Structure 1
């Protein structure tokens, strides 16, 4: 654990489990650390990153026009496999969301990862794989392609992607269907109105 903290504080990247797949984590407010993650993943710069958080407090700083039902969703589904997009505030560094008007938030459920986020502040954590390949679920295989330290816990992973819910527009929109369904969301917030994603 201390080694992982040292790596993060030095501006380097680490591989950590979420409840779905492994992520490649680094300190979100350190531009060089974020640049390193893009380079390690060979990820296009126009693909924005999410902020991984341990409490909802950072949402109030990095998002604006937060829907009144947001906290109910967060209380019910976080920590867990739900990424929520909200309108970005001016506090979001351009190197995280590529200058887009929205920013995503995620609170992974793995206890070690959540503890590191709690101690180190918001982290980016895209899937630990080369861009365009399947999300990594086997720690040793990931390290062969991305040779950075991390914490292995293969049995914890479900392998099912998180659901991405966009709340940055007037109507909610599921950008990626994961384990949490539209019905699950409406059961918690019945007033949610969804628009369909254009094919």
Structure 2
């Protein structure tokens, strides 16, 4: 593809197939796209292409120390990408997927990908967005981070994403404004790699909502109680 980005309207079903085909072509060529999700707009790349992931990080101005999450189309894919998944994490996925929950899990050691300095983990999410899910069903797992330059506000419209990312992205899929208000929240992130699950970023789902499913979920900075001597 050329280095000039193309914008497609996917807010209506008519013409969506051709738009998604253009996005799939860009991804197959190890290029980046911008896609709508249920939270904010995301910049996406082939999760299994180190070249594509490197382009994603460069577009955002982000280093390898901040690897992107991976979007999947269904919770069943989780076991192919992660190992030693706690039952509490599965309970959260069952309750909130598709939705605004990202789970940090131990990655399968056999995976042939390079998302950056992940320390053997992977952050997974199933988005609650018809366009994103349709794309993911065709492409498989995608590395997706918020469509903004590092340190800048997340994009809730495709115009905001394009202003920040420009021609570093080949295809922009315009699905309309994201969220219900200007301060649309990103997904909440739960780390499920320790002895107890911990909320590491409060987002669209509150600590209270998550604790309805996992009552002993730790908050950021909260230490687990230890038995006395």
TM-score (norm 2): 0.80
1:118-175 residue CA offsets vs partner (Å, 9 max, x unmatched): 1101001101111111111121232133222221123343411210011110011111
Residue pair 1:18, 1:157 contacting (<8 A) in 2 also: no
Aligned to 2:225: none
Q: Which moved more, 1:35-44 or 1:94-103?
A: 94-103
1:164-190 residue CA offsets vs partner (Å, 9 max, x unmatched): 011110011111101212221222234
1:49-103 residue CA offsets vs partner (Å, 9 max, x unmatched): 2111011233212211111233322121011111011122213456215141321
Flag the structure with larger Rg. Answer: 2
CA RMSD of aligned residues (A): 1.9
Aligned to 2:10: none
Aligned to 1:126: 145
Match of 1:161 among 186, 189, 193: 186
2:174 is paired with a residue of what secondary structure? Answer: coil
CA separation of 1:110 and 1:12: change in aligned 2, threshold 3 A: same
- Partners of 1:136 and 1:156 lie apart in 2 by 8
TM-score (norm 1): 0.91
User: Which portions of structure 1, spanning 4 or more consecutive aligned residues, are displaced by more than 6 angstroms?
Assistant: none
Structure 2 segments unaligned to the other structure (5+ residues): 1-19, 223-229
Match of 1:179 among 204, 210, 218: 204
Aligned to 1:4: 23
Structure 2 residue 64 is the aligned partner of structure 1 residue 45: yes
Residue pair 1:17, 1:157 contacting (<8 A) in 2 also: no
Aligned to 1:90: 109
- Partners of 1:93 and 1:175 lie apart in 2 by 27
Residue pair 1:50, 1:97 contacting (<8 A) in 2 also: no
CA separation of 1:97 and 1:104: change in aligned 2, threshold 3 A: farther
1:70 is paired with a residue of what secondary structure? Answer: helix
Structure 2 residue 128 is the aligned partner of structure 1 residue 109: yes
Please report how far the alpha carbon of residue 19 of structure 1 lies from its aligned counterpart in structure 2 after TM superposition. Answer: 1.1
Aligned to 2:82: 63
1:12-56 residue CA offsets vs partner (Å, 9 max, x unmatched): 111011111110011100111111101111111111221110112
